[in-house]
Amino acid sequence: SAVISQKPSRDICQRGTSLTIQCQVDSQVTMMFWYRQQPGQSLTLIATANQGSEATYESGFVIDKFPISRPNLTFSTLTVSNMSPEDSSIYLCSVKWGSTDTQYFGPGTRLTVL
C-alpha cells in the first residue's frame, strides 16, 4: 500500500489563527482526499484534491475556510483558517492507490483549538 505521512501529528492553536497540515505520499497518486473527524464522530469528507485542478469541496465546506494546495503528485496541504474551538478535530488525508484504486489513509493530525 501507499505510505502516507502527515505533519504535524498534533497541534494546539489559538482561536483566530490558521494551521497548515501537510500530507506526503511515497508514490505518485492522482486523487488525494481530506477528511475531518470531530470528537466522537465518524469521518466526513472535506474535499478532493487532484493535481493540476482546483479542489472539489463537499457541501458544508468552503475554500476560504479550508484552502487546499496540490502542487505535485505526492504532496498536498490543507489549511484550517481563522480557527475556532469547533474546528478541533482529527484531520486525515487519504489517497487512491494501486490497480484497484483502493483508498489509504494517513495517520491524521489532531488539532485542538483553544
Q: Mark the segment that binds another protein (CB under 8 A) among 13-21, 69-77, 79-87, 94-102.
A: 94-102
Q: Does 43 bind another protein (CB under 8 A)?
A: yes
Q: How near is the Cβ of 67 to another protein at its closest, in Å?
A: 20
Cell of 81: 483558517
CB 76 within 8 A of CB 67: no
Binding residue (CB under 8 A) for another protein from 27, 81, 110, 112: 110
* Residue 106 interacts with another protein (CB under 8 A): yes or no: yes
Among 27, 69, 79, 103, binds another protein (CB under 8 A): 103
104 interacts with another protein by CB under 8 A: yes
Any idea what DSSP says for residue 85? G
